[in-house]
């Protein structure tokens, strides 16, 4: 890195900290700190959702997927759009009608505080593991670009994110998310323009060459639905259910739309985010495909294709701007995770009994946990983005099943609900051991959750009268 690159990165990090400290003055209570006082503009909430869910994995893995293969990954975000429409139709009205601070209050009102706390714990575990992977992905890229050690990269990113998140709360997080989204999307566009200027062929010729090589294939119509996660049917349905779960029952995502002033604004933010995500993935897949031509298909380490391109080919200045984009992608997710973990802890586990200062201390504690997870996680031979999505798939089905059951009029016994939740997680391990594609995990685990809960409830309620009769 040259002096210009370092200056860009320092200015970016300092700007994040200063904005967080400045906006922190407007936080008067936990409602401001965790939900922005319900005054978030829907456009800002929408961009924050996009920035939070794509994070550094977009930089790390998506260009690499196109570099090594094709565009079949787009089948997933195509399903995301339908999933968000379903969330907007069936779950958001329930959240706004009940005026909840945490979506797991719905579970508490319907099934009791015990189940509310259990749902919150499942969310907390999912977030710290999934975002630990995302944090690791960030450290990997920063390590390659800067030459710093992985621990130094993780600690620096974690420290800066912690400062502005603790000070500013959700309001700062979403506004910075919006700025950071623009910055890292600009990084993808700059990469595309840079490569196009370096190649001798025209754009139609370039796209023709990529299409002839099968690099622009979007739909995989192979019949291997159960075992190939990118076969169309499984990928599209997997995207629908993943989005239905992540944006319907994962508090980190729903927290943004709860910060909007009304249901209409929340719906626009959520559905709009699905369209933006699709376009964003197209941009980074195109960048990966063009990198393949520009670098002549050179073999690089998996998930480091884009980082290698930045280090070896981009000039000074652009390199610093792209690194700022990478940091933006990383910090948006980490900041959102810290704030939502603290919010769920305060609301669901502590019953809302926490001051603003205590909420900030809890945020700091969760930040320390995320940093620790990132430092302990090991890379493996799979694309990091797939690992991140797989982790969520283990628990999302159970949570989504709980929310669907809450719309039933049946009074379920707590033991039957717990049985269904545990069974939904257990079935994922069985599916994984048998090589079933992860895109089916949520669909199957939701079904298992509902089925086991109903069977267990019938069994428990049939045994109970017999025991009463004997006594």
pLDDT tens column, 55-108: 666 676 789 999 999 999 999 999 999 999 999 999 999 999 888 888 999 999
Mean pLDDT of 48-61: 77
Average pLDDT of the chain is 87
In this prediction, residue 426 carries a pLDDT of 92
In this prediction, residue 268 carries a pLDDT of 97
How far is 157 from 142, CA to CA, in rounded Å?
10
Convert 12-36 into a string of H (helix), E (strand) and C (coil). HHHHHHHHHHHHHHHCCCHHHHHHH
Extract the tokens encoding 86: 């379903």
Nearest CA to 28 out of 164, 171, 177, 176 is that of 171
> Does 156 score more than 80 pLDDT?
yes
Extract the tokens encoding 303: 């998930």
Q: What is the DSSP string of 215-265?
A: TT------S-TTT-TTSHHHHHHHHHHHHHHHTTT-HHHHHHHHTBSSHHH
| Domains of the chain, residue spans | 3-372
How far is 170 from 40, CA to CA, in rounded Å?
9
In this prediction, residue 448 carries a pLDDT of 96
Give the model's confidence band at 382: pLDDT under 50 very low, under 70 low, under 90 confident, else very high.
very low
Give the model's confidence band at 402: pLDDT under 50 very low, under 70 low, under 90 confident, else very high.
very high
Mean pLDDT of 254-264: 92
In this prediction, residue 49 carries a pLDDT of 92
Cβ contact 187:326 at 8 Å: yes
How far is 10 from 311, CA to CA, in rounded Å?
18
Selected residue with higher pLDDT from 234 and 24: 234
> Does 369 score more than 70 pLDDT?
yes
Is residue 431 exposed (0-12), middle (13-18) or buried (19+ Cβ within 10 Å)?
A: buried
How far is 316 from 275, CA to CA, in rounded Å?
33
Q: Which homologous superfamily does the CATH classification assign to the domain defined by 3-372? A: Sodium/glucose cotransporter (1.20.1730.10)
Nearest CA to 399 out of 130, 51, 34, 124 is that of 124
Residues in the chain: 471
Give the model's confidence band at 388: pLDDT under 50 very low, under 70 low, under 90 confident, else very high.
low
Placement of tokens 């958001």 in the chain:
92
The number of beta carbons lying within 10 Å of the beta carbon of residue 454 is: 16
Give the model's confidence band at 4: pLDDT under 50 very low, under 70 low, under 90 confident, else very high.
confident
Residues sharing a CB contact under 8 Å with residue 372, sequence separation 6 or more, in sequence order: none
pLDDT tens column, 199-228: 989 989 999 999 999 999 999 987 788 999
Nearest 5 degrees, angle CA 113-CA 119-CA 120? 90
Nearest 5 degrees, angle CA 192-CA 195-CA 197? 110
Question: What's the predicted TM-score (pTM) here?
Answer: 0.88
Nearest CA to 109 out of 36, 99, 340 is that of 99
Reading phi first (left if > 0) and then psi (alpha if -120 to 50, else beta), residue 64 is in: alpha
Nearest 5 degrees, angle CA 389-CA 391-CA 394? 110
Strand partners, 40: 260
Mean pLDDT of 123-150: 78
Cβ contact 171:266 at 8 Å: no
Cα of 132 vs its chain's centroid, Å: 11
In this prediction, residue 386 carries a pLDDT of 53
> Does 378 score more than 70 pLDDT?
no
Reading phi first (left if > 0) and then psi (alpha if -120 to 50, else beta), residue 89 is in: alpha
How far is 423 from 452, CA to CA, in rounded Å?
7
Mean pLDDT of 232-256: 92
Mean pLDDT of 403-424: 92
Cα of 351 vs its chain's centroid, Å: 26
Cβ contact 338:163 at 8 Å: no
Cα of 26 vs its chain's centroid, Å: 27
Strand partners, 260: 40
pLDDT tens column, 323-354: 888 788 778 878 888 999 999 999 999 988 88
Q: What are phi and psi of 302, to 5 degrees?
A: -55, 140
Mean pLDDT of 220-244: 91
In this prediction, residue 381 carries a pLDDT of 39
């Amino acid at each position: 890195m040259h002096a210009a690159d370092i200056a860009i990165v320092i200015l970016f990090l300092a700007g994040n900290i200063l904005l967080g400290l400045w906006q922190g003055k407007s936080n008067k209570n936990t409602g401001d700190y965790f939900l922005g006082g319900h005054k978030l503009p829907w456009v800002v909430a929408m961009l924050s959702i996009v920035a939070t869910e794509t994070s550094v994995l977009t930089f790390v893995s998506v260009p690499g997927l196109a570099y090594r293969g094709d565009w079949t990954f787009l089948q997933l975000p195509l399903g995301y759009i339908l999933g968000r429409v379903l969330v907007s139709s069936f779950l958001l009205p329930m959240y706004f009608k009940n005026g909840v601070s945490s979506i797991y209050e719905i579970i508490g009102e319907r099934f009791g505080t015990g189940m509310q706390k259990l749902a919150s714990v499942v969310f907390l575990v999912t977030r710290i593991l999934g975002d630990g992977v995302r944090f690791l992905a960030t450290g990997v890229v920063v390590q390659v670009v800067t030459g710093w050690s992985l621990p130094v990269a993780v600690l620096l990113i974690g420290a800066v994110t912690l400062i502005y998140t603790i000070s500013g709360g959700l309001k700062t997080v979403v506004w910075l998310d919006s700025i950071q989204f623009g910055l890292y999307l600009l990084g993808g566009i700059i990469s595309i323009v840079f490569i196009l200027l370096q190649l001798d062929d025209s754009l139609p010729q370039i796209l023709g060459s990529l299409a002839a090589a099968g690099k622009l294939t979007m739909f995989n119509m192979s019949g291997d639905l159960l075992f190939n996660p990118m076969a169309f049917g499984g990928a599209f349905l997997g995207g629908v259910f993943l989005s239905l779960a992540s944006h319907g029952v994962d508090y980190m995502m729903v927290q943004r739309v709860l910060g909007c002033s009304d249901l209409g604004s929340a719906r626009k933010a959520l559905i709009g985010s699905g369209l933006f995500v699709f376009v964003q993935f197209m941009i980074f897949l195109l960048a990966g495909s063009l990198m393949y031509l520009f670098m002549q298909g050179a073999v690089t380490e998996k998930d480091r294709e884009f980082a290698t391109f930045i280090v070896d080919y981009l000039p000074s200045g652009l390199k610093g701007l792209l690194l700022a984009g990478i940091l933006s992608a990383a910090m948006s997710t980490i900041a959102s995770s810290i704030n939502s973990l603290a919010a769920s802890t305060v609301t669901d586990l502590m019953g809302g009994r926490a001051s603003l200062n205590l909420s900030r201390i809890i945020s700091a504690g969760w930040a320390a946990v995320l940093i620790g997870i990132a430092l302990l996680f090991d890379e493996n031979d799979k694309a990091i983005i797939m690992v991140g999505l797989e982790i969520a798939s283990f628990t999302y089905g159970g949570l989504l099943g709980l929310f669907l059951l809450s719309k039933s009029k049946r009074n379920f016994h707590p033991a039957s609900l717990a049985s269904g939740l545990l069974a939904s997680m257990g079935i994922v391990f069985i599916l994984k051991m048998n090589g079933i594609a992860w895109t089916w995990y949520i669909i199957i685990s939701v079904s298992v959750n509902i089925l086991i809960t109903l069977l267990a409830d019938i069994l428990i309620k049939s045994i109970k009268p017999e025991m009463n009769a004997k006594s």
